[in-house]
């Protein structure tokens, strides 16, 4: 119990005593204070004393619940009347009959017998409310305003800055909102390049046009209502100055955001491993803009290919290559396959045989995160649909005409998507240099090694997994979410000098969607595939999508997608980007 | 020491309107006293039995009482809630005056027993009429002297409303509320028969109901609180309607004169649960119509308050958890009074276990509805108890007195005998409501303390809501206490 509540309880006890004394005089005259007789307590003065003691205790309860509120006399008295009714029902109609073994039965007859005590209770606590307010006005006065929950102007004593608005960053902010909800002196700021949390598991659905982009993103201001949101790019961390340098736009001057505790959750960016020309000639699939650009580009290519007279150019325009056989690459190539086949109805000039989909992967099997069996299942299923796989080879380079592979093969394509590797976002470099390593390594409590006030979660961090001999945790959304919550817990524990807890999480399972109502899943060792896994994928991810409204919208998108062909509209602003992209990819342009 | 200009300001703004409104209320109460021949009793306070002197003394007391009310409120109220404050204050004065001070002045010790309360029952009704009239008068005086917004200075300006639309909404809500009660088997008959339904004055109750609904609408033109608070407010208004309309105006209109005896109260008692339900239903419909009107007809887009979606779903979850806690508390009462087989009877069983399951299912449903109707309503534990207990009380009328008999194929148990039999369940409902409200608030405080603000703009908005909550809530809870206190008085057999 905090000090102000103790003060209120003390005042309440006094007020209850005053109210009790006033009615006790009348009750004694009525002979009702010898109520302790059934307990064989003598002399009768004990009845008085116990009555007053009861009132003092009740007053303490009243004071600690109702609290002193300056200028709210009527509310305090009104609350006192209600408290009186509950006091009568709880004490006189229930507890005392129980103690004296005379009840309770709560019948009208009992209530009638106890009616004088009802009047007494209502009067006692009505008067106690008056006394409580008067005493509070004199003793506490306007000091009560400073504890008012709506008070503003509370000086900020501690600043927590989170950089990154992905799963890890948002989970940290949400957990901090819970933990610090009654501590307005701690300010939490979330810095994010976008103003939304992107639900990345559904990004391939956006790229394939089955989902509306806005529906897979939750606004940060709605998700983290009590966090200050800054839309900017975190550039570097100045640990000596305890600040993060951010830039809200390319033209804007950099700005330093001071922190007392910093949470780095900047995620990862595509890593092209120094391959010549690849960075400038590929699509990536990290952001909502990436997904919409890719979708618009593909639909734009179909429009152009239909009227393209040169067979080799037409072939190039209708060839779609994806690098990377992990979850992102496999889901994307399957979804692109669905998209293109679904909209062919609008392009009667294109035959199915004109289309070519290729997935390039450096290993011998796709989906290394899943078991061999499910990996083989996915490979067989997608091959049967006509998707080609170039396994055991790497991308060696890219040009305007296509992609060259490490085995010397050249794939002539107008669409090349890179999902083959990631690296921590640039902000991390400023910390790893100071920390002496290449990645943002943390201890088991998620604290960055070498920094007592910096924490890291998600894809940008290397967090040891105690269940796998200290191997790094995999970069999945389910890990990032839990790491964010744990980081918030440990951060607040550190602020309050309490012991921290190590991060420990056993993944629930893995799910990958393979397009056209099929998926593969491994949940707690159980394997699923086909339509059942597809339902599981949709059900689980729909339930994980943040926001009820977004869930409904995505559900409607999916239902419509089942019964109608996909939309092929290319919005105006995006159209110009497509033209640019086409120019970059099309050797004819 | 308070400076003289401040004293003058307080006299002008607090004491004068209060005394004036108190005297207007006193005239209404005085008129009833004339009819009931109560004035000589009042005159006895100054050692005389002259009715004229009694009336003067009564008016003086009423003026002092009115000033006391405005001092108590200190100008911090929302217009429509003054009526509730007036009624609650009138009841408090009844406890203090006829039941306590009057016997003391006359050299007797107050007994505070049911017999004394029944004997002073006409005086109770008089005090309630006085309180209601004083409240109405204060609203009118304040409306003439200052715009109603002045009472809620903090926060953004309230949405603008048109009187015509408000009255129309009130009438529609009243009509639908009346129709809803009429849907219950013999509901309207039970509610209306003590008011004279079926005779030549059969349209009277509907007229009184519509008048009441319109009055409610005019007193509460803006639906700014939650639906749950509106329902509780409506229930309180239903009680006032029973006192003012059913016990006072209708007998007068029918030329039966005023009796205000305890026997009359027992005769007209079956109309009380129905009228309370009518008030709650009407207020709820009025609230929802207001939301609809704001959605479709208002240009005041800034006052839209989108609070559904996942916030609503979380409220459902918290309501379910709170319902479980409340249900556990209620179970203690249920087991003690052997009520579980009666609950099991709802599904055609007499097993205690089945009764327990049904009881928890009901507790969950009510808990969820509380979460939906009262989310973001209680600022603190005191408000949580207040709203929870009020909701529990409302469900005592709606559950064991109304829906349970209807489900079992009979008519609502609104008679004195049936209500007396269900009285033990009232205590369980109050315990349930307290547990429900406190748990729900604890969960809100733990996971989304919406009342904690981090910016000046947000704090200003919250301050406005806080003033409204602090104004409406305690007055309604006080009226609820009054109804609960009234029950043993009316339900106990007369000596």
Residue B366 has which token pair? 């009510």
Confidence of residue A111 (pLDDT cuts 50, 70, 90): confident
Question: Cβ contacts of residue A235 below 8 Å, gap of 6+?
Answer: A245, A246, A247, A254, A426, A427, A430
3-state secondary structure of A388: strand
- Residue A173's region, left for phi above 0, alpha for psi from -120 to 50, else beta, is alpha
Q: What is the mean pLDDT of residues A260-288?
A: 88
Q: What is the mean pLDDT of residues A494-514?
A: 89
3-state secondary structure of B256: coil
Question: Cβ contacts of residue B309 below 8 Å, gap of 6+?
Answer: A547, A548, A549
Sign of torsion over alpha carbons B240, B241, B243, B245: positive
Compute the nearest-CA separation of A293 from chain B (Å): 30
Interface contact B485, partner A, CB < 8 A: yes
Percent of chain A beyond pLDDT 70?
91
Interface contact A95, partner B, CB < 8 A: no
The residue of chain B with its CA nearest to that of A119 is B112
Question: Cβ contacts of residue B450 below 8 Å, gap of 6+?
Answer: B376, B444
Q: How far apart are CA A581 and CA A166, in angstroms?
A: 27
Interface contact A180, partner B, CB < 8 A: no
Minimal Cβ distance to B454: which of A82, A109, A226: A226
The residue of chain A with its CA nearest to that of B424 is A106
Residue A262 has which token pair? 């910093």
Q: Tell me the chain B residues in contact with residue A30 when contact means C-beta distances shorter than 8 Å.
A: 109, 111-112
Residue B217 has which token pair? 């609408």
Give the pLDDT score at B342. 85
Distances from the Cα of A291 to the Cα of A273, A295, A414, A574, B398, angstroms: 22, 6, 16, 11, 54
Blockwise average pLDDT, block size 10, chain B, 495 residues: 68 80 89 82 79 88 88 69 86 84 80 84 88 88 59 51 84 90 68 51 70 88 79 90 82 76 81 89 92 75 56 84 93 86 86 91 94 86 89 92 86 84 88 94 84 72 70 80 80 72
Q: Tell me the chain B residues in contact with residue A547 when contact means C-beta distances shorter than 8 Å.
A: 309-310
Peptide bond into A123 cis (omega under 30): no
With b for 16 or more beta-carbon neighbours within 10 A and e for fewer, the A215-249 pattern comes to bbbbbbebbbebbbbbbbbbebbebeebbbbbeee
Q: How far apart are CA A487 and CA A175, in angstroms?
A: 9
Interface contact A146, partner B, CB < 8 A: no
Q: Enumerate residues 320 to 349 of chain B having a beta carbon within 8 A of any beta carbon in chain A.
A: 333, 336-337
pTM to 2 decimal places: 0.79
Q: How far apart are CA B180 and CA B174, in angstroms?
A: 10
pLDDT tens, position by position, A337-393? 999 999 998 999 998 889 999 999 999 899 888 888 889 999 999 999 999 999 999
Give the pLDDT score at B203. 63
Distances from the Cα of B482 to the Cα of B85, B396, B489, angstroms: 12, 16, 11
pLDDT(A434) > 60: no
| Residue A367 near residue A520, CB atoms below 8 Å | yes
Q: How far apart are CA A121 and CA A19, in angstroms?
A: 9
Q: How far apart are CA A487 and CA A171, in angstroms?
A: 9
| Residue B209 near residue B175, CB atoms below 8 Å | no
Give the pLDDT score at A574. 46
Sign of torsion over alpha carbons B402, B406, B411, B416: negative
**A380 burial type by CB count under 10 A (0-12 exposed, 13-18 middle, 19+ buried):** exposed
Compute the nearest-CA separation of B82 from chain A (Å): 11
Q: Give A448's strand partners.
A: A442
Contact call for A67 and B380, based on CB within 8 A: yes
pLDDT(A429) > 80: yes
| Residue A362 near residue A420, CB atoms below 8 Å | yes
Q: Enumerate residues 424 to 453 of chain A having a beta carbon within 8 A of any beta carbon in chain B.
A: none
Edge-first strand order for the sheet with A255-258 is A233-238, A243-247, A255-258
A20: phi then psi, degrees, rounded to nearest 5 = -65, -40
pLDDT(A67) > 80: yes
- Higher model confidence: residue B219 or residue A142? B219
Give the pLDDT score at A280. 80
Q: Tell me the chain B residues in contact with residue A83 when contact means C-beta distances shorter than 8 Å.
A: 385
The residue of chain A with its CA nearest to that of B446 is A178
Q: How far apart are CA B410 and CA B402, in angstroms?
A: 10
pLDDT(A435) > 70: no
The residue of chain A with its CA nearest to that of B461 is A150
Interface contact B155, partner A, CB < 8 A: no
| Residue A92 near residue A117, CB atoms below 8 Å | yes
The residue of chain B with its CA nearest to that of A156 is B454
């Amino acid at each position: 119990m905090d000090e102000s509540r103790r003060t209120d309880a003390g005042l309440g006890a006094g007020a209850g005593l005053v109210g009790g004394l006033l009615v006790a005089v009348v009750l004694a005259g009525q002979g009702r204070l010898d109520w302790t007789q059934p307990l064989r307590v003598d002399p009768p003065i004990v009845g008085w004393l116990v009555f007053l003691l009861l009132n003092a205790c009740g007053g303490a309860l009243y004071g600690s619940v109702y609290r002193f509120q300056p200028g709210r006399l009527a509310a305090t008295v009104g609350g006192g009347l209600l408290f009186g009714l509950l006091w009568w029902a709880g004490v006189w109609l229930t507890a005392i009959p129980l103690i004296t073994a005379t009840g309770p039965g709560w019948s009208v007859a009992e209530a009638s017998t106890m009616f004088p005590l009802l009047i007494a209770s209502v009067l006692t606590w009505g008067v106690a409310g008056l006394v409580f307010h008067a005493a509070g006005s004199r003793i506490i006065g306007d000091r009560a305003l400073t504890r008012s929950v709506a008070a503003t102007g509370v000086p900020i004593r501690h600043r927590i800055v989170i950089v990154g608005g992905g799963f890890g960053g948002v989970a940290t902010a949400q957990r901090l909102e819970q933990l610090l909800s009654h501590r307005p002196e701690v300010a939490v700021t979330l810095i994010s390049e976008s103003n939304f949390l992107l639900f990345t598991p559904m990004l391939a659905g956006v790229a394939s046009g089955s989902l509306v982009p806005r529906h897979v993103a939750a606004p940060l201001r709605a998700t983290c209502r009590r966090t200050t949101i800054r839309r900017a790019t975190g550039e570097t961390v100045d640990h000596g100055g305890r600040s993060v340098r951010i830039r809200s736009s390319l033209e804007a001057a950099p700005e330093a955001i001071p922190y007392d505790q910093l949470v780095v959750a900047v995620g990862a960016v595509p890593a092209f491993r120094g391959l010549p020309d690849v960075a400038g000639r590929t699509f990536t699939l990290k952001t909502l803009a990436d997904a919409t650009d890719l979708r618009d580009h593909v639909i734009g290519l179909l429009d152009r290919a239909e009227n393209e007279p040169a067979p080799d150019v037409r072939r190039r325009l209708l060839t779609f290559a994806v690098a990377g056989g992990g979850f992102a690459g496999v889901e994307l190539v399957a979804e692109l396959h669905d998209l293109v086949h679904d909209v062919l109805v609008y392009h009667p000039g294109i035959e199915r045989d004109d289309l070519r989909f290729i997935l390039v992967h450096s290993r011998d099997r796709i989906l290394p995160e899943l078991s061999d069996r499910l990996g083989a299942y996915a490979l067989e299923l997608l091959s049967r649909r006509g998707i080609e796989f170039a396994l055991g080879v790497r991308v060696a380079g890219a040009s305007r005409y296509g992609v060259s592979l490490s085995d010397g093969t050249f794939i002539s394509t107008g669409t090349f998507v890179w999902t083959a590797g990631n690296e921590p976002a640039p902000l991390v470099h400023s910390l790893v240099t100071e920390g002496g390593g290449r990645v943002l390594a943390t201890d088991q409590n998620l604290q960055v090694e070498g920094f007592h006030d910096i924490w890291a979660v998600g894809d940008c961090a290397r967090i040891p997994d105690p269940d796998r001999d200290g191997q790094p945790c995999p970069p999945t959304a389910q890990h990032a979410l839990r790491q964010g919550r744990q980081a918030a817990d440990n951060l607040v524990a550190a602020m309050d000098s309490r012991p921290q807890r190590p991060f420990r999480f056993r993944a629930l399972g893995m799910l990958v969607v393979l397009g056209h109502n099929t998926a593969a899943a491994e949940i707690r060792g159980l394997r699923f595939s086909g339509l059942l896994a597809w339902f599981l994928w949709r059900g689980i991810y729909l339930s994980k999508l943040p926001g009820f409204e977004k869930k409904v919208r995505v559900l409607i998108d999916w239902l419509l997608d089942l019964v109608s062909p996909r939309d092929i509209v290319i919005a105006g602003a995006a159209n110009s980007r497509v033209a640019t992209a086409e120019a970059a990819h099309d050797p004819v342009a | 020491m308070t400076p003289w200009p401040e004293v003058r300001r307080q006299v002008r703004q607090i004491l004068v309107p209060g005394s004036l409104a108190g005297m207007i209320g006193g005239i209404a109460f005085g008129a009833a006293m004339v009819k009931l021949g109560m004035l000589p009793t009042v005159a006895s306070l100054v050692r005389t039995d002259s009715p004229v002197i009694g009336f003067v003394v009564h008016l003086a007391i009423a003026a002092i009482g009115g000033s006391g009310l405005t001092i108590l409120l200190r100008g911090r109220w929302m217009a429509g809630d003054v009526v509730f404050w007036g009624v609650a204050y009138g009841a408090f004065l009844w406890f203090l005056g006829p039941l306590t001070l009057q016997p003391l002045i006359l050299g007797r010790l107050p007994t505070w027993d049911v017999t004394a309360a029944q004997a002073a029952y006409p005086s109770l009704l008089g005090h309630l009429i006085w309180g209601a009239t004083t409240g109405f008068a204060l609203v009118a005086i304040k409306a003439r002297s200052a715009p109603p917004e002045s009472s809620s200075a903090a926060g953004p300006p309230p949405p603008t409303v048109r009187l015509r639309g408000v009255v129309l909404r009130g009438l529609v809500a009243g009509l639908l509320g009346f129709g809803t009660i009429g849907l219950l088997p013999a509901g309207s008959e039970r509610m209306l028969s003590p008011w004279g339904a079926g005779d030549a004055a059969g349209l009277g109750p509907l007229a009184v109901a519509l008048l009441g609904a319109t009055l409610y609408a005019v007193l509460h033109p803006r639906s700014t609180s939650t639906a749950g608070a509106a329902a509780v407010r409506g229930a309180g208004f239903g009680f006032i309607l029973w006192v003012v309309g059913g016990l006072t105006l209708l007998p007068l209109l029918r030329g039966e004169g005023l009796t205000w005896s305890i026997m009359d109260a027992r005769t007209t008692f079956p109309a009380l649960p129905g009228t309370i339900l009518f008030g709650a239903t009407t207020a709820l419909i009025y609230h929802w119509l207001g939301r609809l009107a704001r959605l479709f007809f208002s240009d005041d887009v800034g006052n839209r308050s989108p609070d559904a979606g996942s916030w609503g779903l979380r409220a459902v979850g918290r309501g379910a958890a709170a319902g479980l806690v409340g249900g556990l508390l209620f179970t203690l009462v249920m087991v003690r009074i052997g009520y579980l087989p009666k609950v099991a009877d709802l599904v055609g069983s007499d097993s205690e276990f089945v009764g327990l399951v049904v009881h928890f299912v009901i507790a969950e449903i009510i808990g969820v509805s509380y979460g939906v109707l009262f989310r973001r309503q209680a600022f603190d534990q005191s408000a949580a108890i207040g709203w929870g207990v009020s909701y529990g009380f409302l469900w005592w009328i709606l559950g064991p007195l109304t829906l349970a008999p209807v489900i079992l194929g009979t008519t609502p148990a609104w008679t004195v005998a049936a209500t007396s039999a269900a009285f033990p369940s009232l205590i369980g409902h109050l315990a349930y409501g307290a547990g429900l409200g406190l748990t729900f608030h604890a969960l809100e405080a733990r996971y989304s303390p919406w009342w904690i603000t981090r910016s000046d703009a947000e704090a200003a908005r919250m301050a406005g809501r806080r003033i409204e909550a602090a104004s409406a809530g305690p007055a309604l809870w006080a009226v609820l206490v009054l109804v609960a206190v009234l029950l043993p008085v009316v339900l106990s057999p007369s000596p």
